[in-house]
Amino acid sequence: MALQNIDTYNYKDIFSLSTVNFENACVFHKPEQVDMYSVYWIKEGKGTYYIDFKKYDFQDNVVFFLSPGQVFSIDSEKIKTAYKINFTKDFYCIQTHDKAVACNGVLFNNVYETPFVKPCEKDVEKLTFILNNLEEEFKREDVAQYDMLQSYLKQFIILSVRIQKEVSPVKNDVETKLFKDFSLLVEQNYKKMHSVTDYAERLGLSPKSLTKNFHRVGVQSPSDFIKDRILLEAKRMLLYTNVTVKEIAYDLGYNDAAYFTRFFTKAENKSPLQFRKSDVFNK
């Protein structure tokens, strides 16, 4: 975002709220890797963002949710009113609160689906009310401020989960639950577990049964799912680190760098080094 007319409130470098009120074109070609949980609510405005190498065009009233490690780039934007929330797991732990809030794998830590929600007019009023209270609390610096700030953040997240579920109802059938369990398991283990068999065993299924369940849900195969997550992390590392391809291969669980290079090249139609040198955001 442009660096003008932005008010930012901070709490001990672990939680912040920025309010944006201006209308100005901004182009930011260089991507950045997110190091905190981030929420971007573009209340009024339009633009094009890249998130994890995928392009998203938007216009007015859209809330983006980003998790640490994701790659974010602004291709263009013209913003009139917007909010940005940043927080660390030390301030609000997604995993700890997941049982009550159920945002893990829905809003955050979800690299497999569209990372935004579109609130209706009624929900916009509710979200605005929460953020106004949040801004007021930042200014108060009163007793138990941490608890109050966390409470407002939690309200914002809960409402966003409800909005998402209204638009894309979360099914509770066996296949859908299995898909979420599998995706979270992959997120935790993709650097050391590459085979469908390993994940199927963790889930108490045979590889064939796991694949059939995925087919019924209408998603990609477990094998492709695992490969895509490995490739995403490889691209992040190629873009944001200076470590060698061999080191990247080893970090992702490949003892043979040549095998990893063949795997990457086959999937991306360019070698890891070619990818590192290419302008992947200007296609």
CA distances from residue 130 to 31, 124, 167, 277 in whole angstroms, order as listed: 30, 10, 21, 44
Q: What is the pLDDT of residue 153?
A: 94
> How many alpha carbons fall within 13 Å on the CB side of residue 16?
16
Mark residue 195 as left, alpha or beta (left: phi above 0; alpha: psi -120 to 50; beta: remaining): beta
- pLDDT tens for residues 12-51? 999 999 988 765 545 445 677 788 889 999 999 898 888 8
φ and ψ at residue 7, rounded to 5 degrees: -100, 130
Q: What is the pLDDT of residue 27?
A: 45
3-state secondary structure of 114: coil
- pLDDT band of residue 53 (cuts 50, 70, 90) is confident
- What does the alpha-carbon distance between residue 77 and residue 27 come to, in Å, rounded to a whole number? 7
Mean pLDDT of 148-174: 79
Please report the domains of the chain, with CATH numbers, ordered by start residue: 6-167 (2.60.120.280), 174-277 (1.10.10.60)
Q: Does residue 174 carry a pLDDT above 50?
A: yes
Buried b (16+ CB within 10 A) or exposed e, 85-104: bbbbeebbebeebbeebbbb
**H-state helical runs in 95-192:** 98-101, 121-140, 145-167, 174-189
- Best CA proximity match to 43, nearest among 75, 79, 3, 4: 79
- What does the alpha-carbon distance between residue 221 and residue 215 come to, in Å, rounded to a whole number? 7
Residue, of 215 and 188, whose pLDDT is higher = 188
- pLDDT tens for residues 220-264? 889 999 999 999 999 999 988 899 999 999 999 999 999 999 999
- pLDDT tens for residues 58-112? 998 999 988 888 888 888 888 888 999 999 988 988 766 555 444 555 567 665 5
- What does the alpha-carbon distance between residue 88 and residue 15 come to, in Å, rounded to a whole number? 7
Contact assessment for residue 234 and residue 67, using Cβ atoms and an 8 Å cutoff: no
Say how many residues make up the chain.
Answer: 283
- Best CA proximity match to 214, nearest among 223, 206, 224, 222: 222
Residue 34 DSSP one-character state: -
- pLDDT band of residue 192 (cuts 50, 70, 90) is very high
Q: What is the pLDDT of residue 22?
A: 64
Lowest mean pLDDT among 13-22, 109-118, 166-175, 182-191: 166-175
Residue 224 Cα to chain centre, angstroms: 20
Q: What is the pLDDT of residue 2?
A: 44
Contact assessment for residue 37 and residue 108, using Cβ atoms and an 8 Å cutoff: yes
- What does the alpha-carbon distance between residue 17 and residue 24 come to, in Å, rounded to a whole number? 20
Q: Does residue 3 carry a pLDDT above 50?
A: no
**Token pair in block for residue 80:** 């009139």
